[in-house]
Structure 1
Amino acid sequence: MNNDWTDEELRAAVDVYVEMLQKHHSNKPFTKKHYYEELHRKYGRTEKSFEYRMQNISYVLSLMGRNWLPGLKPAKNIGAKNAAKIEKMLAEAEGVSFIPVANFETAVREELDKPLLHEPIGNVTPKIIQTKISAYQRDAKVKAWVLKVANGICEGCGNVAPFYGTDGIPYLEVHHIRQLADGGSDTITNAVALCPNCHREMHYGIDRDRLISKLYSKVPRLIRE
C-alpha cells in the first residue's frame, strides 16, 4: 500500500487517539489493540503502522506542550507537513482554536539533524500571522494561594525561585498537573508552583510521568483527577 497517508487516514487516527485520551482521563477501560484492529480493517494498513502513527500524534502533542497517551511514547519521524495537519485535526477533534506550532518546531528539528553549514539569513521583517485562540477562565485566588504556600520554593525540585520578578515576588510558575486542555480542574488540588526549568520539563520533558508521580508523592494537597 502507498506509504503516503491520506487526510482521511490521518483524521481517523487522530479521532481514535482523542477518543482513547478522553477515556484515559475519564478512567474508562479501553484496549489500544482493538482500535488498531478496527483501523486496519477499514484502511488496510497494518496495526503496527497505526500504532506508530499514534506515536507520531503523541509527538505532535509534545511539541504543543500537551500530555500524551501513556504507552504511546512520542516518535518524531514525521514530516513538518503531516505534523501541521495532525495539529489542526487535533484542534478540530477537540473543538478548540489553537496557535500553530507543530510545523515550525518539526522544521527546527529537521534542521538540527543536518550539518551546520551556512549562517541563515533569517527575516529582517517577520510577517504577522493572524490566529484565533481559546483561553480558559482561571481563578486568581487559586494561583495566589499556590504561590503563597510555595513561599518562593519550587514544589518540584525544591530549589529557591531563580530570580525575583519586577513585582518583587520570587518568580515561580503555576502548573496544572492534569492540564486544563485535558479536562483538568483549576483548583489547588491540581496545581503546583514550579521553577521555569521544572515547568518546561513538565510540558516538554520525556520523563514527565516520573515527575508527575514525584509531585503526587511530595505535595500532600494534590489529588489525582
Structure 2
Amino acid sequence: MARDVNVAGDVTSNEWTDDELMACVFAYRELQTAEAAGEVINKTAKRKQVLATTLSSRTAGSYEFRMANISAVVEALGLPILTGYQPRRNVGAKVTAKLLPMVNHVWQREWSAEAPTADPEALQTRVKSARSKLKGDLSAPPPTNPLSGSKVASTTTRFVRDPNVIAWVLATAAGNCEACGDPAPFLREDGEPYLEVHHVRPLSEGGPDSADNAVGVCPTCHRRFHHGVDKDRYRRETIKRVGRLVNYPQLTPELVSD
C-alpha cells in the first residue's frame, strides 16, 4: 500500500506542530547569529541534532524544506537570510501565520514596526506580521512613515506602502467594511476577515499613505471607489462616515513626489 508523502517530503499526512516549527526557527537563528559573528557553522550537525530530538518523525528533506521556508519569511520581512538556504516561497498561509510570530519572538522584534516596501508579496507578509503584533491593541496612535507613499522605479509605477498602516486600518475595521458597514464577505486562509485597504485620496493623486487617508473596505465597495458612477459622492460620504479620515486635496501630477 502506497504511503502519503506531503509537500515537505515526510511520509505522513500530519501538519507540522508549533514545537516542530519553533525548533527549526531556533536552529535557523542560532546558525545565522553564528554566521554573522564570523564563526564557522556546521549546518549538517545542526540538522542531525534537531532531527534526533523535536523532529524525530521528520526527514532530512523536510527539515531542509522548512529552513528554506523560513528564509522566505525572513527575506520578506527585510531581514538577512542564512547562507545556503535559498528562500522557498510556497510556504502556505497557515504555516506563514505560525512562522511570523515565532520569527518575531526569536529575532526579538515583537515591538518593532515593519519597514515600508513596494514589493507586493513582501508587503502581504509584513502586513500579517504587523497584525500579529497589534493583537487587537489600538491604544497607540496610528503609525506614520515618511517613506511610504513615495514612488519607486519599475517597469510599472509602484508606491512604497507601510504595512503597519494597513495592519492598523484592518484591525480598526474589525471585520466590517468601513464604507457600507457590512461584514467581510469571507475569511482569508489564515482566518482573518477579508477586507481591502483603500486610499480615499489615491497615492497617485498625492494622497498620503496614512491611517487618516485609508479605509478597510469589502471588494464591492473597493471597486465602487474606483469604477462607480457615483465614486466621488461615495468617497465624500465615506469621509464623513469615518471620523479619522481627512479630505486631502488632489495634487496635479507634477506635484506628486517621486
TM-score (norm 2): 0.40
TM-score (norm 1): 0.46
Greater fraction helix = 1
